[in-house]
Structure 1
Amino acid sequence: MNKAQIISQYQPLLHTIAYNLVRCKEDAEDIVQETFVKWLSIDQQKIENTKAYLIRAVTNNCLNHLNSLRKKKEEYIDNVSVMIKHFKETNLAHLDMDTAIKVLHAKLEPLERAVYLLKEVFDFDYEELQQTFDKKKDHCRQLFFRAKKKLNEETSKIDLPDTSKFLESFRNACHFGNASDLIQELKKDINTAISKKF
């Protein structure tokens, strides 16, 4: 059999195996495709049993995928736990996550909020904050401590804004372990605030 025939013959079997393991049609299709791409890139002569090789490869790829999802879930839980832990240490303890994010928006200036969230929740150091926002480390440090001070002030008399889009970016950053979309959202808030001043 040529390569096209092998792919045609084993694709349904591999897809069934992948789907039974990952329980998601799109992920299963991606894993099977990646398995075939890798198989096509190696020396076929070294494979004694093509069917067994492909089954083992797709199974391993599925297990790696599931491990990756588990780690991302753990990171999400850890990030949310850090946020909740901090809120418990302030007078935001009685608030749920949605309300807490609204309080951050209501009480903090955009740059304060950006520095605070990236440092407190995503563990950015001052060097990374300096590079992200093009601000000196000392300035970032001041912004962070100013934000903490503001958050510890009375919260009962503030109007809470709509933060649904921001909250989605925040949750995605926690869930996928990549804060780039959240950083863009934070920078957009900063730029909007600057443009309103002029």
Structure 2
Amino acid sequence: MTEDRFSAHRSLLFTVAYEMLGSAADAEDVLQETWLRWAGVDRSQVHDPRAYLVRAVTRQALNRIRTLSRRREDYVGEWLPEPLLTHPDVADDVELAESVSIAMLTVLETLGPVERAVFVLREVFDMPYDEIAEAVGKTPATVRQVARRARGHVAARQPRVRVTRLEHKTVMDRFVAALHTGRIQDLLDMMAPDVVLIADGGGITAAALAPIHGAELVATMLAGTDRAAFETTAVWLNGAPAIRIESGSGGAAVSLVIENGRITRIYATSNPQKLTRLEKPADLTR
């Protein structure tokens, strides 16, 4: 029975932990720690296993964040969330797809640990304030204030308009075609003037150590790529159409943010330690 209850909510618990941590590997560790504690609980005293387990995962994730923050202080270059291969139907739940997007996870990284937990539990999973308060060790009144502050922080930094699945895929396909031509003008036609490219090589692969700003610089850099040395595959990453690149020097996962038919953000992850979840789709749910 213990295994059945935990297994029934495993996808949900993984999604909560992943959204809080931005790392599938760390999310799996948090689930393991939660399982060990769940196995020793007197379940006759647990009236709502789902709520209990979400609170337990949240506490473990908060503990893990403190460790990760120290690790990321020494990270080489820009840090991006670990991309996940997902089923296309994740996009059917628009709010879930938005919450697990690379763009959103990058924004959540700018929140403090408690703010991030409160935002995820309230805005994504619609948990009551009193349950969130128990999970994060704050009063319900404080949690309401934290939620309001986190909501404003995220709203100021997330894309202003939602893009349909078809529009996203259309722009992505044109971007891939432009990559293969290598013509700067073709790339410029796809990008907003203030486009930003953020690359994460983790000091293991060659990648820009700071964000590259502006269409001219981004297009020039992309046009200089050896087109004969890489192959591109359309995939679904984090609930949206994306690109997987394979080359002799390694691979990369590329996600785009699109507004008004133009690319405004390019997230390129080439750190091989973050490309281990691109073979089997992750089970994400709310």
Give the TM-score of the pair, scaled to structure 2: 0.25
Give the TM-score of the pair, scaled to structure 1: 0.35
